Amino acid sequence: MKSNRSLLPVTLARVAWPALLLCAICLGFIPRGFAAEKTETSPWSIQVEPVQAEEGQLPPDFSMAVYEDLIEQLVKTNKFRQVYRSGDHQADRVPNLLVLRMTLLNFERGNETARAVTTVKGATKVQVHLKVSPRDGKVLVEKDVQGTVRFFGENLKATVALAKDIAKTLGETSFPEPAKAAGQ
Amino acid sequence: MPTVRGNTRSCISLLLYRRATYGLRTLAPALLLVSLFCTSLYAQTATDTSSGASGVRAMHVLGLSGVKRNVHGTLTAQASGLNFAAKGAHGTVPIASIQDIFTGQDSRQVGGKVLTVAKIGVPYGGGRVLSLFSHEKVDSLTLEYRDANGALHGTVFSMPLGQAAVLKKQLVALGAHVSIPVESAPEKKEAGGNKQ
C-alpha cells in the first residue's frame, strides 16, 4: 500500500498532463470564438491593389502571394460587404468603396534550411506601408506592417503572416460612416 | 520506517531514471535511422516527379480557384490554357487571360510536417543535422491573369528544378502574354533576392 501511495504523484502527473493540455487548447479557442463574434460588417466594400515595389525588389511569387493571401484574410474577417480584386469592373459601380494600397518598404528573403539548422538565422521578412482610403477621400488608415517567418515553414509563409496582420488591423479599425467620410 | 520509505523512493526514482536513460539510448539511434529513411524516401519521391509527355508534376501553392493549397497534381500547357489536375480538384487558367508569367527558384525542406516533427524528436540536435541534408531546390511558376470582370488574379506553382522554364516556353508558344522573354527570365528574376 505504501509503495502505491508513493507512486500516486507519478500517476497524478500522468493524468494531469492531458487534462492541462485539453484546458490550454480550450482556453486558446474560446477567445478566438468571441473575437469572431465581435466583428461587425461595416457599410464599406474594399478593393485590394497589389503591392507597389520597384522593379526587382519583390519577387513576383511573393507579390502575388501577399495579394492573394490578403484577399483571403479580408474575406475571413467579415468586416467588409464585399472584397474586390484590383481592376474588377464590378467595383466601379459600388458607392462606398475603400481602396487598399500597399508600398513595399523592406524585403529579406531568408532560407528555410538555415532556419531549421540554426533557429536564429534565415528569417524571411516582408514589410509594407499600408494605406486605406475612399476613392477620392482622405486616408483613413495608414500603417507599416510586417510579416515574418522565423522558425518553421516555407518562405512564402511570411506573406500569410503579413496578410493576417493587415486583416487584423483593418478588422479592429472603426471606419466612419460613408457620408461623413465623403464630407471630409 | 522512514528509512524504508526513503529507500523505496530512491529505488523507484533510480529505476525510473535508468529506464528513461535506457529508453533514450535505445531510441536515439532508432529515431535517427527512421528520420534518415524518411529523408531518403521523400528525396526520392521528389526527384521522381519529372515531367512526362502528359505534363509536369507540380504543387499548387496558392491562387487557383477551386483547388486547395499545397495540393500535388499535374500541370499541363494546352491550347485551352494551363490545366492543373489533382485528385478531386481541377483548375484552368485560359491562355488569353494570362497577363504575365514569371519563373523563379527557391529552396525548401522536404518531408513536410511529418519529418519536421520527427526531426524535433531526434535527440542531441540530430534533427538540425538532418535538416542540412533534407532540402531541395524547386522552381516556381507565377501567373498573373484577369477574369471576365477584369479582376486580377495570381497563382503560384512549385515544381522540380528546370520545369518552370519549359512550361513558360510552352505557354508563350501557345500565345500567352509575357513581359520578360523566356531566355532572359531567370537572370532578371534573380534580382528579387533569390540567393538560394
Compute the mean pLDDT over every residue in chain A, rounded to the nearest whole number. 84
* Closest B-chain CA to A119: B128
Looking at residue B107, its pLDDT comes to 84
Taking alpha carbons only, the member of B116, B118, B133 closest to residue B40 is B133
Range name among A92-96, A102-106, B154-158 with the lowest pLDDT average: A92-96
Q: How many CB pairs under 8 A join A and B?
A: 114
Q: Which among B106, B149, B192 has CB closest to A57?
A: B192
Has residue A175 got a pLDDT over 80?
yes
Contact status, residue B159 vs residue B75, Cβ threshold 8 Å:
yes
DSSP annotation of A175 reads P
Query: Which residue bears the cell 468603396?
Result: A97
Q: Which among B135, B146, B189 has CB closest to A87?
A: B146
Q: Which chain B residues are Cβ-neighbours of A90 within 8 angstroms?
A: 149, 151
Has residue A23 got a pLDDT over 70?
no
Looking at residue B22, its pLDDT comes to 56
Q: Which chain A residues are Cβ-neighbours of B154 within 8 angstroms?
A: 50, 63-65, 67-68
Q: Which residues pair with B144 in a beta bridge?
A: B100, B154
Q: Tell me what the mean pLDDT of segment A47-56 comes to.
A: 93
Contact status, residue A65 vs residue B69, Cβ threshold 8 Å:
no
Task: Tell me the pTM.
Answer: 0.73
Question: How sure is the predictor about A33, in pLDDT bands with cuts at 50, 70 and 90?
Answer: very low
Looking at residue A177, its pLDDT comes to 83
Say which residue, B34 or A9, is predicted with more confidence. A9
Tell me the pLDDT tens digit for each residue of A133-145. Answer: 998 778 999 999 9
Has residue A83 got a pLDDT over 70?
yes
Reading chain B (196 residues) residue by residue, the pLDDT tens digits are: 445 555 656 655 555 556 555 555 555 555 555 555 545 444 444 444 444 446 899 999 999 988 999 999 999 999 989 999 999 899 999 999 999 999 999 888 888 788 888 888 888 888 888 888 888 899 999 999 999 999 999 999 999 999 999 999 999 999 999 988 876 545 444 444 443 3
- Yes or no, beta carbons of A111 and B151 under 8 Å apart: no
Distances in whole angstroms, Cα of residue A34 to Cα of each of A20, A21, A23, A31, B75: 22, 21, 17, 5, 42
d(CA B57, CA B46): 10
Looking at residue B8, its pLDDT comes to 58
Looking at residue A132, its pLDDT comes to 95
Dihedral Cα B67, B70, B73, B79, nearest 10 deg: 60
Distances in whole angstroms, Cα of residue B148 to Cα of each of A29, A85, B153, B174, B176: 40, 12, 11, 20, 16
